[in-house]
Every structure is written in C-alpha cells, then in structure tokens.
Amino acid sequence: MMNKKTAINIIILIIYALLTFFVVMHHEIWADEAQVWLLSKNLSLFGLFKHLVQEGHPSLFYLIMMPFAKTGCSVIVMQVFCWLCSVVGVFLLLQFSPFSKFEKASIVLSSGFLYFFPVIARSYSMIPVLVFLAAILYKKQKEYPVFYAVVLALIANTHIIMFAFSAILGAYFICNNVLKEKAYEKKYLISAGIISVGLIAVILQLAATPFGASCAIKYNLDSILKNITDTFSQFFGNSFGFSSSVVLVIISMLFLIIFVYIFKKSKSLFTLAVLSIGFQFFIYITSYSLNIYPTKSFCAFLILIFCLWQIDRNKSAKIIICMFFLLSFFNGLRYTVLDLFNNYSSAKETAQFIRENLPEDSVFIPLPEPYAIAVMLYLPDRKFWSGTNTTYIKYMKWSCNKNNSNGSIVFDFKDVKAKHIYFIISVPNPAIEALLKDKIEVLYTSRPSIAEGEAFKIIEYIQSNN
C-alpha cells in the first residue's frame, strides 16, 4: 500500500513532468543540441571517439544516443531522454532526500529544474539523477559498493566539469573502504576498479583537448583577471537572470554562506565542494569564460545539494538554501515563457523556408559555421559546405588548420560545383556581407532567436556567367 508521502510526491512529480514536457515539445533544437545528434548519427564508434577530443566532452551521452540516431529515430528521442532524466532526478529528490518541504520546493522550482535540465537536451540533463543517486548511496556505500562505484564512473563520463567531483568521491571510497580498513574484499576491489576505469576513460578520451585538438576550446591565460571577472559574472548572472550588481552580490554571498555551513558540519564534504567546484571554475576561467550557460552553473549547485544532503541543517540554513534556489525561479520562468512563444533558435523556421523555396541540388555555406548546425539537423538531405575545412560536412568539425588558425573569417568555396549556392549567415553579420559585395541577394531573414547568434539570413550567391 502506497503511503501518504509517496502518493503526494507522485502527484507533484506528475504535475512537474506534464508542465516541463509541454515546454520540451515546443522547444526548438539549437546548435549544441544538434551537434550531439549529428555526431551520433553520422560517425562510426571509432570515428566518434576520435572526434570527441575536439568536442571536449566524454562519450557517455553520445553512446546512449547513437543507437537511436543511427536507426532513423527523431531527435525528439534525445529530448525525451533528457526530460525523463530530470523527472527521475526530481522523484529521487522528493522521495529520498532529507530536505524539508520548502527546501525541496525551492530546488524543484529553481531555473535548473524548471527549465534548463529538462528542456535543453545536453549531457548535463543526466547529471542530476546520477548525483542524487550518489547522494542516496553515499552513506550506504558499504552496503552497495559496486552500485555506488558505477554511479561515480557514470558521473565522471557525463561532462568534464564533473570529473573532479567523481575523482574525489572515488578517492574517499578507496581510502575509507580499502586502505584505511584494509578491507581487501572482492566487492571493494571491484568497486575501486570500476571507479578507476571510469576516471581513466575520461582522461584517455580528452587528454589532447587542451593541447590544440579543438579550435573551439582555447585555453587563454593572457587576460586572466578579465577571465575571472567574466566567469563569476556569468556564473551567477546567467543562472539567476539578474544584471544588477547588488543582487548578484547577495546571491554570491548566499553561495559562500552555504559553503561556510558545510565547513562547520563536515570538513570532508567541504573539501569535496571546494575542490570539485573549484575545478569547474578553473576550466571556465582558462577556456570557457565567455560561454558559461546556466546548465554549467547548476552542475556546481548540484554538488552543494549533494553535500547538504549528507548533513543536518538548522532553521537558518534551510532559509538560506530556500532563498538561494528560489532566486533563480524567475529566470527559469522567463526562459519557459520565451521558449513557448518564440524561436529558441531559428533553425526550424529557416529549414522550412529552404525546403519550400530552394532547389534540392543547392549547396549551403554557413557563415560562421557553428551557429547553423541546427539548420543542418532539420535538413538531413541537403548539402552543406565548410569553408573552413573545404569539404562537405554533416556535423561541425572543430579541428584546427591553416585556414582558421588566426581566427579570421574563412569562406573558401572555389571547389563547390553547384548551380545554386547559398550562404546561411548569422544575423547580424555585415562584415561577411560586405566581403561578398555585389555578388549576393538576400532571400530570407528569420525571426530573432533566444539562442545567441542563431537568427539567420539566406543569401544567394550570384555566379558570373564566365
């Protein structure tokens, strides 16, 4: 017989699932989401591992998507999978966490769970359910060591920013259950092996990424102070949707107070939080200082939730936790409304225009290339030419070469043999249009998009008769 608590949690979960699913079904795929599906669809298993060093991401999410992408399924499968991960994560939080009703409500209503994890189909969506499983198993790791080890290995392979979190928890496990206790039981040794293999797999896949394997990930320490400033402003600003410096200071202070409270309760959990979140900041400051989307920030907040899950919280701590997460609610609500009534990207709308108005044998040249990846997703049977890589492409290639090593705009298309050539240009992009001068005719301009850089112009290249 289902108890009252479970029944209430299931009702809340159903409401949450229905509301977020409604948004998911209205969400338009954007470039980063499209890239995952296109890689999974067009690359072999070996080709995927070879390419992912350019992406800077571990393979887990791509491997899960690959069977669906290769068998002709719609990209909706990926969206539903990510939504389902968030729903299961919310259920674990409601049913098994020690948080009060108000704390649970504040977390579920935060922008991460209200919008970014369930709606944006990226590997980040898998992280809440895995982190919450780890939180449940943390105090039961002696009872379920293999299960706990598998969860840590999976977390490490979701995204590089979760590597330190898994590594530190793995080190804790090995120290506490193998070295300190000298418990060389088979189950503990197997578990230690699983954790080690999971961590080594990430290193082997991505070791070359920071050494020039990808032009999209540029490690830059030349303007370190600016990088730090940009990182912290985006980390809080993008997640909470506030531009006011006063509000951002308040949010950052609440963030620090939570750290102090964890320190007072558990030095080991404090060390976990500082090192694993500090590792994320190191990556952001050195390479991603201009691209810290809310999903990245909320992965850090998930680590705080994990730590708070393990300790008792007094009334003051509970109030601070509620305030911190509820401050992001309005940003989640804002994105939800925007997504329901606007184009997230303009890729679907642009692709529809192309299908209805332009010849099937046309060749399309995206400029700059990354922003038009989602257009490629919606037009699987059309040809796209990479001016950077001087070849036809079915996904974005981030490899560095002489054509774009200096960061200049490249659109070499002299080898394109087609009667109809069109440029798909991100709006606004007057520099490229000026370079093409009088050899172009603008045929179409999409509506504005939520995703930055993903509103497009379609421009026909007027070829000379000579």
Q: Residue 342 burial by CB count (10 A; 0-12/13-18/19+): exposed, middle or buried?
A: middle
pLDDT band of 220, cuts 50, 70, 90 = low
The one-letter code for the residue type at 127 is: I
Using the predicted structure, report yes or no on whether residue 287 has a pLDDT greater than 50. Answer: yes
Q: Are strands 363-367 and 440-445 parallel, antiparallel or unpaired?
A: unpaired
* pLDDT at position 357: 95
How many other C-beta atoms can be found within 10 angstroms of the C-beta atom of residue 84? 16
Lowest-confidence segment of 92-101, 135-144, 220-229 by average pLDDT: 220-229
pLDDT in tens, 346-402: 999 999 999 999 999 999 988 888 889 999 999 999 999 888 888 889 999 886 554
Report the mean per-residue pLDDT for the chain.
89
d(CA 348, CA 29): 8
pLDDT in tens, 304-315: 999 999 999 999
* pLDDT at position 46: 94
Measuring CA to CA, how many Å separate 167 from each of 32, 122, 195, 261, 268? Answer: 27, 22, 8, 23, 14
* pLDDT at position 316: 96
Residue with tokens 């705080």: 304
Residue with tokens 């912290």: 232
How many other C-beta atoms can be found within 10 angstroms of the C-beta atom of residue 221? 9
How many other C-beta atoms can be found within 10 angstroms of the C-beta atom of residue 302? 25
State the DSSP code for 178. I
pLDDT in tens, 186-219: 889 999 999 999 999 999 998 877 666 666 676 6
d(CA 444, CA 24): 27
d(CA 345, CA 275): 35
Tell me the percentage of the chain whose pLDDT exceeds 70.
89
Tokens for 345?
């990207």
Three-state DSSP state, 404:
coil
pLDDT in tens, 263-278: 999 999 999 999 999 9
* pLDDT at position 3: 87
Using the predicted structure, report yes or no on whether residue 27 has a pLDDT greater than 50. Answer: yes
